[in-house]
Amino acid sequence: MVDRTPAVVSALITPMREDRSIDENALQNLVMYEIEHGSEGFYCCGSSGEGLLLSVEERMLIASLVSEVCKNKVPFYVHTGSLGTREAIQLSVHAQKVGAKAVSLIPPIYYHYSQKEVENYYLDVVNAVDLGVIVYNIPQFTGISFSKESSVMQSVKIIGVKHTSMNLYDLERLGQAFPKKILFNGFDEIFLYSLAAGAQSTIGTTVNVCPKLFASIREDFLGSNISGAQQKQHMLNNFIEAVVKEGIFSAVKYCMTYLGVPSGPCRKPFKELDDGAKLRIEGALRRIEPYL
């Protein structure tokens, strides 16, 4: 099971070569770099890792490569959500095999499944592995929202929620309804405020770039230095605002390349960054330089 220590977890990007194939060496170098710079865990093959643009074989390769670096250092989680249950089980069984701390799944998308069908999707995975399962709540992409009334949350093997939603009321209510489950914040922009609502951990895209800034916000919050935490959250949000304008996933990949860890482009249909975008991203990085 996942421990309940507050953790700053990187929603790991997937380094790629210019032909958009996975760069295995760059991926492992990135994980090592982030551990050295303060990342306390990794969440691979999620939105930031372009998981739904990868084949099943590629997703299993990434989990294996991340496992090799993380072993005996930090925990890692694998996003195994898929369009179908069979693929989700296949990926989850593999994640268990390579030592993942837990798996996490978005609900099945595209088709308008009934609530019972969505519940069965999760329970089929729960019953296929001896691992904790983290529900990935990202309603703006999936059209499905999880709350304290969601029946799937009753399963003891659903150990937590990755709450990528601005609705902090729902986050607080989930925590009150299920005090033994772990609440992972999924929006970097509200990291500080999610802690106040009961989140124990965060899984974020910009954690790739500046885990020290997240850790510093957490330290101030836990030490009751709310003013200091707010100032740092403002700094983080200024950075996030700048990179979101350029395309968050491509921008974070460029940030890591600029910091000395080549990460390549995103898979199409994501567009490449032009020179102007790269200059603006470099300017945003300089403004958070103390935490790089």
Per the annotation, the verdict on 122 as an active-site residue is: no
Model confidence, pTM? 0.96
Work out the average pLDDT over 198-206: 97
Tell me which of 162, 181, 232, 253 is the catalytic residue: 162
Residue 35 to residues 219, 248, 249: CA-CA distances in angstroms? Answer: 18, 22, 20
Tokens of 291: 């935490």
Residue 141 confidence class, pLDDT cut points 50, 70, 90: confident
Q: Choose among 119, 129, 127, 46: nearest CA to 80.
A: 46
Residue 260 has pLDDT above 60, yes or no: yes
pLDDT digits (tens, 9 = 90+) for 45-80: 999 999 999 999 999 999 999 999 999 999 999 999
- Grade residue 178 by pLDDT with cuts at 50, 70 and 90: very high
Active-site option among 121, 122, 136, 291: 136
- 162 catalytic? Reply is yes
Question: Is the model's pLDDT at 1 over the cut of 50?
Answer: no
Residue 225 has which token pair?
């230095």
With 60 as the cut, is the pLDDT of residue 287 above it? Answer: yes
Q: For the chain, give the mean pLDDT.
A: 96
